[in-house]
Amino acid sequence: MNKFLISVILLAGACMPLAAQKKGDISEAQREKYVAEIRQYKHDAIARELDLSKEQQREFFPVYDDMEDQIMKLNIETRELERKAADNADASEAELEAAAIAIYSQRLKEGQIEMAFYEKFSKILNNRQILRLKNTERKFTQKLMRHHRQAGKQNRAEDVSPQRQK
Protein backbone atom coordinates (compact mmCIF):
# COMPACT_ATOMS: atom_id res chain seq x y z
CA MET A 1 0.00 0.00 0.00
CA ASN A 2 2.85 2.36 0.85
CA LYS A 3 4.37 1.84 -2.60
CA PHE A 4 0.97 2.50 -4.17
CA LEU A 5 0.69 5.78 -2.27
CA ILE A 6 4.19 6.75 -3.27
CA SER A 7 3.43 6.00 -6.91
CA VAL A 8 0.22 8.02 -6.79
CA ILE A 9 1.91 10.89 -5.02
CA LEU A 10 4.80 10.87 -7.46
CA LEU A 11 2.39 11.04 -10.35
CA ALA A 12 0.25 13.69 -8.63
CA GLY A 13 3.31 15.71 -7.69
CA ALA A 14 4.61 15.45 -11.22
CA CYS A 15 1.31 16.53 -12.67
CA MET A 16 0.63 19.34 -10.19
CA PRO A 17 2.87 21.93 -11.86
CA LEU A 18 1.63 20.75 -15.21
CA ALA A 19 -2.00 21.21 -14.20
CA ALA A 20 -1.20 24.82 -13.37
CA GLN A 21 -0.45 25.49 -17.03
CA LYS A 22 -3.44 27.24 -18.57
CA LYS A 23 -2.71 26.90 -22.28
CA GLY A 24 -1.48 24.08 -24.44
CA ASP A 25 -1.09 20.42 -23.81
CA ILE A 26 1.54 19.08 -21.49
CA SER A 27 4.42 17.52 -23.33
CA GLU A 28 5.78 14.14 -22.45
CA ALA A 29 9.17 15.77 -21.99
CA GLN A 30 7.76 18.15 -19.36
CA ARG A 31 6.07 15.31 -17.48
CA GLU A 32 9.27 13.27 -17.55
CA LYS A 33 11.23 16.28 -16.29
CA TYR A 34 8.97 16.65 -13.26
CA VAL A 35 9.02 12.92 -12.52
CA ALA A 36 12.82 12.97 -12.75
CA GLU A 37 12.98 15.95 -10.37
CA ILE A 38 10.80 14.21 -7.80
CA ARG A 39 12.79 11.01 -8.16
CA GLN A 40 16.03 12.93 -7.58
CA TYR A 41 14.50 14.63 -4.55
CA LYS A 42 13.57 11.20 -3.20
CA HIS A 43 17.06 9.86 -3.91
CA ASP A 44 18.56 12.78 -1.97
CA ALA A 45 16.25 12.13 0.98
CA ILE A 46 17.02 8.41 1.04
CA ALA A 47 20.76 8.93 0.67
CA ARG A 48 20.74 11.45 3.52
CA GLU A 49 18.49 9.44 5.87
CA LEU A 50 20.31 6.14 5.28
CA ASP A 51 23.73 7.79 5.23
CA LEU A 52 24.62 6.07 1.97
CA SER A 53 28.16 6.24 0.70
CA LYS A 54 28.74 7.38 -2.88
CA GLU A 55 29.43 3.79 -3.88
CA GLN A 56 26.20 2.58 -2.25
CA GLN A 57 24.28 5.33 -4.04
CA ARG A 58 25.72 4.30 -7.42
CA GLU A 59 24.74 0.68 -6.82
CA PHE A 60 21.47 1.15 -4.93
CA PHE A 61 19.47 3.72 -6.88
CA PRO A 62 19.36 1.92 -10.24
CA VAL A 63 18.08 -1.18 -8.42
CA TYR A 64 15.64 0.86 -6.31
CA ASP A 65 14.34 2.72 -9.37
CA ASP A 66 13.79 -0.60 -11.15
CA MET A 67 11.68 -1.77 -8.20
CA GLU A 68 9.69 1.48 -8.16
CA ASP A 69 9.13 1.24 -11.94
CA GLN A 70 7.86 -2.33 -11.65
CA ILE A 71 5.48 -1.37 -8.85
CA MET A 72 4.26 1.68 -10.74
CA LYS A 73 3.65 -0.46 -13.84
CA LEU A 74 1.68 -2.94 -11.73
CA ASN A 75 -0.41 -0.12 -10.26
CA ILE A 76 -1.13 1.38 -13.68
CA GLU A 77 -2.10 -2.00 -15.13
CA THR A 78 -4.37 -2.74 -12.18
CA ARG A 79 -6.12 0.64 -12.39
CA GLU A 80 -6.53 0.18 -16.16
CA LEU A 81 -8.10 -3.25 -15.67
CA GLU A 82 -10.39 -1.87 -12.97
CA ARG A 83 -11.46 1.06 -15.17
CA LYS A 84 -12.15 -1.16 -18.18
CA ALA A 85 -14.27 -3.56 -16.15
CA ALA A 86 -16.14 -0.79 -14.29
CA ASP A 87 -16.83 1.22 -17.46
CA ASN A 88 -17.97 -1.77 -19.49
CA ALA A 89 -21.69 -2.24 -18.84
CA ASP A 90 -21.53 -5.49 -20.85
CA ALA A 91 -18.61 -6.97 -18.89
CA SER A 92 -19.07 -10.64 -18.15
CA GLU A 93 -18.97 -12.02 -14.63
CA ALA A 94 -15.60 -13.61 -15.48
CA GLU A 95 -14.16 -10.21 -16.53
CA LEU A 96 -15.49 -8.53 -13.40
CA GLU A 97 -14.10 -11.32 -11.23
CA ALA A 98 -10.69 -11.10 -12.91
CA ALA A 99 -10.61 -7.35 -12.28
CA ALA A 100 -11.64 -7.79 -8.65
CA ILE A 101 -8.99 -10.45 -8.08
CA ALA A 102 -6.35 -8.21 -9.67
CA ILE A 103 -7.31 -5.33 -7.38
CA TYR A 104 -7.35 -7.42 -4.23
CA SER A 105 -4.09 -9.19 -5.07
CA GLN A 106 -2.24 -5.99 -5.97
CA ARG A 107 -0.63 -5.56 -2.55
CA LEU A 108 0.44 -9.19 -2.58
CA LYS A 109 2.13 -8.66 -5.94
CA GLU A 110 3.78 -5.46 -4.65
CA GLY A 111 5.08 -7.44 -1.68
CA GLN A 112 6.47 -10.11 -3.99
CA ILE A 113 8.27 -7.45 -6.01
CA GLU A 114 9.66 -5.90 -2.83
CA MET A 115 10.86 -9.26 -1.51
CA ALA A 116 12.64 -9.99 -4.78
CA PHE A 117 14.41 -6.66 -4.48
CA TYR A 118 15.16 -7.18 -0.78
CA GLU A 119 17.65 -9.81 -1.88
CA LYS A 120 19.32 -7.28 -4.18
CA PHE A 121 19.25 -4.52 -1.54
CA SER A 122 20.91 -6.83 1.00
CA LYS A 123 23.97 -7.03 -1.26
CA ILE A 124 24.30 -3.21 -1.28
CA LEU A 125 22.95 -1.99 2.07
CA ASN A 126 23.57 -3.16 5.61
CA ASN A 127 20.66 -4.48 7.67
CA ARG A 128 20.20 -1.21 9.58
CA GLN A 129 19.92 0.72 6.30
CA ILE A 130 17.43 -1.77 4.89
CA LEU A 131 15.37 -1.50 8.05
CA ARG A 132 15.41 2.31 7.92
CA LEU A 133 14.46 2.36 4.23
CA LYS A 134 10.74 1.74 4.85
CA ASN A 135 10.54 4.48 7.48
CA THR A 136 12.39 6.84 5.15
CA GLU A 137 9.92 6.08 2.36
CA ARG A 138 7.00 6.80 4.71
CA LYS A 139 8.54 10.08 5.83
CA PHE A 140 9.15 11.08 2.22
CA THR A 141 5.54 10.27 1.33
CA GLN A 142 4.22 12.30 4.26
CA LYS A 143 6.41 15.25 3.32
CA LEU A 144 5.28 15.08 -0.29
CA MET A 145 1.63 14.89 0.79
CA ARG A 146 2.06 17.95 3.04
CA HIS A 147 3.68 19.82 0.16
CA HIS A 148 0.87 18.77 -2.17
CA ARG A 149 -1.80 19.94 0.30
CA GLN A 150 -0.05 23.28 0.82
CA ALA A 151 0.31 23.82 -2.91
CA GLY A 152 -3.36 22.97 -3.36
CA LYS A 153 -4.37 25.51 -0.72
CA GLN A 154 -2.16 28.12 -2.37
CA ASN A 155 -3.63 27.39 -5.82
CA ARG A 156 -7.19 27.64 -4.48
CA ALA A 157 -6.34 30.94 -2.79
CA GLU A 158 -4.90 32.28 -6.04
CA ASP A 159 -8.03 31.21 -7.94
CA VAL A 160 -10.26 33.39 -5.75
CA SER A 161 -7.91 36.36 -5.44
CA PRO A 162 -9.23 39.72 -6.72
CA GLN A 163 -6.61 39.84 -9.48
CA ARG A 164 -7.88 36.52 -10.89
CA GLN A 165 -11.49 37.68 -10.87
CA LYS A 166 -10.89 40.63 -13.23
Residues 2 and 45: their CA atoms lie apart, in Å, by: 17
CB 50 within 8 A of CB 125: yes
What is the domain partition of the chain in residue ranges?
2-149
Residues 146 and 152: their CA atoms lie apart, in Å, by: 10
Select from 14, 110, 11, 122 the least CA-distant residue to 70.
Answer: 110
pLDDT tens over the chain, length 166 residues? 555 444 545 445 544 444 444 444 678 888 889 889 999 999 999 999 999 999 999 999 999 999 999 999 999 999 999 999 889 999 899 989 989 999 999 999 999 999 999 999 999 999 999 999 999 999 999 998 998 888 777 766 666 655 555 4
Select from 1, 11, 2 the least CA-distant residue to 134.
Answer: 2
Residue 152 confidence (pLDDT): 75
Residues 107 and 90: their CA atoms lie apart, in Å, by: 28
Q: Which residues contact 80 (CB under 8 A, 6 or more apart)?
A: none
Residue 20 confidence (pLDDT): 44
Residues 128 and 37: their CA atoms lie apart, in Å, by: 27
